[in-house]
Amino acid sequence: MNRREVLLSVGASATLLACSGDGTTDGPGTEPTPAPDRPAEPEPWAAPGTYDEAAFGWSLLAGDATTDGVVLVARTTEPTVDCVVVAQDGTGWTEVARKTGVTSTEGSVRIELDGLTPDTAHNWILASADGARRTLVGRFRTAPTNDGHRKLVIGATSCLNPGGDVGFPGLSFAATERLDAFLLLGDTVYADGSRTVDEYRAFWRGVCATPSFRDLVASTSVIATWDDHEVANNWTLGAGDGFNETLIDQAWLDDATFAFKEAIPMRPGPNGGIWRKLSYGTIADILVMDCRGERQEDVRIVSDEQLQWVTEQLAQSQAAFKIVMVSIHAADHSALLGFIEEEDRWQGYPSQRDVLVAAAEAVPGVLFVTGDMHYGAIQKLSPAGEPGEGLWEFAVGPSGSEVFLLSTLVNLANDEVASQYPVVLEDWNWGRLTLDPGLMTATLELVGDDGSVLGSMIIPF
Ligand SMILES: [Fe+2]
């Protein structure tokens, strides 16, 4: 039995173990009703002009879509470009926004759009001033308002690493799904060894020009956070006393941060940084955390301000699902890995983790989505009997970097392990989350390089 077969058997038994929703949204005696699927969308817009790969070969990225707005980012060799946006109407596409003469800054174009219609598919291009040459056609979908009631389908991955000719095969399949959004959990680039903005840019260019990633981010909007490799492997600012660290100074961090924020379309959070909330009406709130930029090794994993923010957001959320988007695992892996490298996950910061777990346990519908550890999993946040044992974590990726072969260290079929880790996948993957606010279920699927589902569960909330 090869590695994949072992994991398929784990995934298959886990699927059988999954139960269906218990219907908390309807009154006694009534069957819960599935929420409607996403609305159909027309074939992509037949945009004018021809695709010019030399001038517009970098990915188009749309990000942080709201009910009426989005941030668009692209790189180009053109000094000025026009941006044209069309929205789905009854029969096809209608132009809803046009910005002409947008100046590129050091080859980068960034546009914030507002005034868009909620829960509507949009297509967009950047074009040369004469309109003859353009980017690929990008797509994104604005978020539903509080009136919206339907399934939300989101993709997610972490740990890409430029794969040379191999690329990120699974992401080509994600690109065909017209997702509501795609979560980038961090290690989107492995820019280790970079020191200047241009050196960081070269790594972003490597990923963004890779066809599978380019096609994925042209097909939906992204919601991104970062992990260590956007800066340097296990970086620490200033003097550190840990091991296996890259000690960096503020100017170095500023260069890496500049390249990240230039490449990724996002709006600053409430403190001007990465942690922020994206809302999908009453269906889902996505709480994007920054578990890298505020870390002090062995002291704290996030600032007190960020921890207070996420606990308040969890308590205040009116959405059916609260997605906590964390680059590293929130799970307590003491039963799996003991204390190995626990300083690189929430487990190593128990006082802050206790606060996060208590806030998540206090409200319904919380799901952690995480990356970093280079194996895919649907796992419980804590061993049986511990606070957090009823919470779930969907660990996604890697999508191109080295796979962590957990099964060489641990017997995954051991009952105690399997109860906390019902689905483990040691293969390249991305995650698909189908959130159904009618049944109050999250269907979690780990999708492989050929588009097939390698492990899945239906989690009732
Ligand atoms: Fe990674």
Write out the H or E segment, with its range, that includes residue 321: strand 321-326
Q: Which residue has the tokens 């960034």?
A: 110
Q: Which fold, 50-139?
A: Immunoglobulin-like (2.60.40)
Within 13 Å, how many C-alpha atoms sit on residue 125's CB side? 22
Query: For position 415, what pLDDT does the model report?
Result: 86
Query: For position 242, what pLDDT does the model report?
Result: 57
Distance 159 CA to ligand 1 centre (A): 4
Query: For position 10, what pLDDT does the model report?
Result: 41
Within 13 Å, how many C-alpha atoms sit on residue 290's CB side? 21
Distance 85 CA to ligand 1 centre (A): 35
Distance 347 CA to ligand 1 centre (A): 18
The CATH code for residues 3-33+143-460 is 3.60.21.70
Distance 145 CA to ligand 1 centre (A): 35
Distance 136 CA to ligand 1 centre (A): 29
Query: For position 13, what pLDDT does the model report?
Result: 38
Distance 405 CA to ligand 1 centre (A): 14
Distance 398 CA to ligand 1 centre (A): 7
Write out the two tokens for 424. Answer: 């483990």
Q: Closest Cα to residue 259, out of 341, 302, 299, 204?
A: 204
What CA–CA distance (Å, rounded) separates 254 from 259? Answer: 9
Residue 246 CB partners (closer than 8 Å, separation 6+) = 192, 232, 233, 234, 235, 236
Query: For position 28, what pLDDT does the model report?
Result: 61
Claim: this prediction has a pTM higher than 0.85: yes
Write out the two tokens for 196. Answer: 């200047």
Distance 381 CA to ligand 1 centre (A): 20
What CA–CA distance (Å, rounded) separates 418 from 422? Answer: 5
Distance 224 CA to ligand 1 centre (A): 14
Backbone angles phi, psi at 8, to 5 degrees: -60, -40
Residue 24 near residue 439, CB atoms below 8 Å: no
Distance 63 CA to ligand 1 centre (A): 22
Distance 231 CA to ligand 1 centre (A): 12
Distance 291 CA to ligand 1 centre (A): 14
Distance 323 CA to ligand 1 centre (A): 21
Q: What is the pLDDT of residues 174-225, one digit of tens each?
A: 999 999 999 999 999 999 999 999 999 999 999 999 999 999 999 999 999 9
Distance 227 CA to ligand 1 centre (A): 8
Amino acid at 301: I
Distance 328 CA to ligand 1 centre (A): 9
What CA–CA distance (Å, rounded) separates 278 from 418? Answer: 33
DSSP line for 187-247: -SS--TT--SHHHHHHHHHHHHTSHHHHHHHHHSEEEE---GGGT-TTEEESS--SSS-EE
Distance 158 CA to ligand 1 centre (A): 7
Distance 435 CA to ligand 1 centre (A): 26
Distance 189 CA to ligand 1 centre (A): 9
Distance 78 CA to ligand 1 centre (A): 34
Distance 213 CA to ligand 1 centre (A): 16
Coil vs helix vs strand at 455: strand
Distance 300 CA to ligand 1 centre (A): 20
Distance 96 CA to ligand 1 centre (A): 39
Distance 401 CA to ligand 1 centre (A): 7
Write out the H or E segment, with its range, that includes residue 85: strand 80-88
**How is residue 100 annotated by DSSP?**
E
Name the residue ranges covered by the structural domains of the chain.
3-33+143-460, 50-139
Distance 374 CA to ligand 1 centre (A): 6
DSSP line for 361-377: HTSSSEEEEE-SSSSEE
Residue 120 near residue 90, CB atoms below 8 Å: no
Q: Which segments in the chain show pLDDT lower than 50?
A: 1-26
Q: What is the widest separation between alpha-carbon atoms in the chain?
A: 66
- Our CA dihedral for 145, 148, 150, 152, rounded to 10 degrees, sits at 0
Distance 349 CA to ligand 1 centre (A): 20
